[in-house]
């Protein structure tokens, strides 16, 4: 049984046993560093389809590197509000960490908190924009980010020390809700703030309320680093047409936990939040966003006050490939019908028609302007054109029936870790936690790549924004049950092996 990086579980286990028995002094060691960058007003924003700029900046944006070592076995986490999990930024970060730490790129897990209120980072050193363009500020910020990443990485191997692993969990159900509503006709829709209020202030739905904390302690029983995890889109005070820069509840809560633990670095991991929202999306204030961070921070501290010591020792990890099943394309008639609806919606939205709230399964709030709604629908139009083309050119037999993705699974002490390279739905994460053979499992989405939303087994036939996101990816058919749960089943199997 081989992991993608070429190491078998047997080899890792033998290595661990040999180090422990023969060497006698090889133990799990760790070190961590946190650095920050602060964008400027006018920097191009991420998570905006209108090319909007950052209009207000509320503090810095923190990134944390956490390195584990046990003999020759190494594992590194890079946690950031920026999109370090994919594309050019990930490649740049992995290159720096791999060379500096002398670690395999496969042993580097890049994880984004998926905060929506962040600037765009331009890190391609060969694509320096003109000084007069807004993207020059993105380039400057990107270069500063990489420089500080390099400086922090330089310190990691110098500060490694033996650690034990402790973990705690508290409940936090005040700041998130399940954003996949269901109408009387059975169809699902995206519940933004105005929809949540219509459902009632007490509405929560199925969420993952666990505020999870893992604390690494040295020989003196003092914290040297920590991991935190919570499940929910950090979208309070987020409006894509009025962009701000703010670290949201992941950073605010982790800062609060860090202060409680004596100022140690805290790496935040975003949970399986594909269908889970923080409150106040599109309509919230910065004060409301800060309150959510304070509330989560308090929950993290409660968890940190009741830590469990690991009975297991050591560290193991693997990467595994899983095939996500894909469904056949819809028939030609229904595709053409939807394409006609899309073209009509785009035309009306661009003309300012306020009566543009629903199209091809997606729904839109009053808080977004009609032209912006039109852009969101226009983004799925190429998928329908492609799907129709497969019918017209008799190429349906070439349409893929599976999509391969790579997941990461690890164990340090009694703590398990699962990293999925997409936006998993909450039921997928709850399935892993319920069936896993370890007492604490950090279920993290948004790691190492970005395939967008992949629904759980109960949601593959829905077409609201999240379940129908395959249309934004281009040449990808709809997902087929069990969808993202396919990856969960493999992760549970691997955790069981690592837990023995």
> How many CA atoms within 13 Å lie on the side-chain side of 476?
21
Instruction: Give per-residue pLDDT as tens, 419-435.
Output: 999 999 999 999 999 99
Rounded to the nearest 5°, which phi and psi values hold at 16? -65, -45
Q: Which residues of the chain have pLDDT under 50?
A: 1-24
Per the CB < 8 A criterion, the answer to whether 208 and 430 are in contact is yes
CA gap 475, 455 in Å, rounded: 17
Domain boundaries, the chain: 9-320+405-457+485-499, 332-398
- Output the CA angle 454-460-462, nearest 5 degrees: 110
Q: Determine the pLDDT at residue 133.
A: 85
- What is the DSSP-derived secondary structure letter of residue 472? G
Rounded to the nearest 5°, which phi and psi values hold at 450? -145, 95
Q: Which residues of 339-372 are buried (b: 16+ CB within 10 A; e: fewer)?
A: beebeebbebbeeeeeebebbbbbbbbebbbbbb
Q: Determine the pLDDT at residue 10.
A: 41
Q: Determine the pLDDT at residue 26.
A: 65
CA gap 123, 140 in Å, rounded: 9
Q: Determine the pLDDT at residue 130.
A: 85
Q: Nearest-CA neighbor of 378 among 309, 296, 463, 472?
A: 472
Prediction pTM value: 0.93
């Amino acid at each position: 049984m081989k992991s993608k990086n070429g190491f078998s579980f047997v080899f890792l286990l033998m290595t661990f046993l040999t180090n422990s028995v023969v060497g006698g002094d090889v133990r799990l060691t760790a070190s961590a560093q946190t650095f920050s960058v602060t964008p400027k007003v006018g920097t191009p924003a991420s998570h905006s389809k209108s090319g909007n700029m950052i209009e207000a900046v509320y503090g810095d944006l923190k990134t944390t590197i956490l390195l584990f070592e046990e003999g020759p076995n190494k594992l590194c986490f890079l946690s950031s509000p920026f999109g370090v999990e994919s594309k050019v930024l990930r490649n740049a970060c992995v290159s720096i960490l791999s060379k500096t730490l002398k670690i395999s790129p496969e042993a580097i897990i890049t994880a984004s908190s998926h905060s929506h209120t962040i600037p765009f980072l331009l890190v391609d050193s060969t694509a320096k924009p003109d000084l007069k363009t807004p993207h020059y500020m993105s380039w400057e910020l990107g270069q500063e980010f990489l420089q500080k990443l390099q400086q922090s990485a330089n310190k990691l191997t110098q500060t490694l020390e033996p650690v034990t692993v402790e973990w705690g969990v508290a409940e936090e159900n005040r700041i998130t809700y399940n954003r996949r509503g269901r109408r009387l006709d059975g169809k699902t829709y995206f519940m933004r703030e105005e929809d949540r209020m219509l459902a009632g202030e007490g509405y929560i739905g199925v969420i993952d309320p666990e505020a999870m904390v893992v604390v690494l302690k040295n020989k003196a029983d003092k914290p040297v680093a920590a991991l935190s995890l919570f499940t929910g889109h950090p979208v309070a005070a987020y409006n894509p047409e009025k962009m701000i820069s703010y670290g949201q509840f992941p950073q605010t809560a982790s800062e609060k936990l860090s202060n409680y633990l004596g100022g140690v670095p805290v790496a935040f991991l975003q949970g399986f939040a594909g269908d889970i929202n923080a409150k106040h999306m599109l309509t919230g204030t910065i004060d409301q966003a800060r309150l959510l961070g304070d509330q989560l921070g308090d929950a993290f501290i409660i968890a940190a006050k009741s830590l469990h010591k690991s009975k297991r020792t050591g560290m193991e990890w693997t990467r595994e490939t899983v095939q996500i099943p894909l469904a056949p394309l819809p028939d030609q008639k229904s595709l053409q019908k939807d394409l006609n609806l899309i073209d009509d919606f785009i035309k009306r939205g661009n003309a300012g028609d306020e009566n543009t709230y629903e199209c091809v399964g997606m729904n839109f709030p009053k808080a977004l302007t009609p032209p912006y709604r039109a852009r969101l629908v226009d983004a799925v139009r190429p998928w329908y054109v492609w799907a129709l083309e497969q019918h017209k050119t008799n190429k349906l037999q070439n349409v893929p029936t599976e999509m391969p993705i790579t997941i990461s699974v690890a164990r340090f002490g009694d703590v398990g870790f699962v990293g999925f390279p997409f936006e998993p739905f909450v039921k997928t994460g709850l399935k892993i936690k319920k069936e896993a053979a370890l007492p604490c499992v950090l279920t993290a989405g948004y790691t190492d790549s970005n395939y967008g939303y992949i629904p759980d087994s109960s949601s593959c036939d829905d077409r609201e924004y999240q379940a129908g996101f395959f249309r934004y990816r281009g040449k990808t058919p709809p997902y087929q049950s069990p969808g993202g749960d396919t990856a969960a089943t493999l992760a549970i199997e691997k955790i069981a092996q690592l837990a023995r």
